[in-house]
């Protein structure tokens, strides 16, 4: 597991959560794989134990990880459709944030939709 943190990229626990989720989605972290202990993670990343615990606790609550008393923290078994649903929900969260930002910038909904369409077409052109 490889995690890089930036002081300019938002709360550290959210960065850890995002990167662990991404590694699970990509298959880099496999079901049943053990993760570093909270203290080890905190030491490796040079962060507080509370920050590491918060990241793990959130991922456990979301079902990405599970804890076994006295054994450690592990990647949960996930069905493919469950991962697709989680990815879709994360995408919706990101799009809602973009929609809020567009509204704050005074971009009307029609223009936001047009920008999204242009982005989608850019992606298709590169495929």
Q: Give residues with Cβ within 8 angstroms of 23, minimum separation 6.
A: 1, 2, 29
Query: Do 110 and 103 touch, CB atoms closer than 8 A?
Result: no
Predicted local distance difference test score (pLDDT) of residue 79: 59
Residues 43 and 8: their CA atoms lie apart, in Å, by 20
Low-confidence ranges of the chain (pLDDT < 70): 79-81, 83, 123-127
| pLDDT tens-digit map of 98-112 | 999 999 999 999 999
């Amino acid at each position: 597991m490889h995690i890089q943190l930036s002081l300019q990229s938002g709360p550290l626990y959210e960065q850890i959560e995002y990167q662990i989720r991404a590694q699970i989605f990509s298959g880099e972290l496999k079901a049943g794989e053990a993760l570093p202990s909270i203290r080890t993670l905190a030491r490796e990343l040079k962060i507080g134990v509370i920050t590491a615990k918060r990241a793990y606790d959130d991922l456990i609550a979301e079902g990405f990880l599970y804890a076994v008393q006295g054994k450690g923290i592990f990647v949960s078994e996930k069905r493919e459709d469950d991962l697709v649903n989680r990815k879709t929900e994360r995408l919706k969260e990101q799009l809602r944030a973009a929609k809020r930002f567009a509204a704050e910038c005074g971009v009307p909904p029609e223009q936001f939709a047009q920008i999204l369409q242009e982005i989608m077409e850019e992606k298709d052109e590169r495929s």
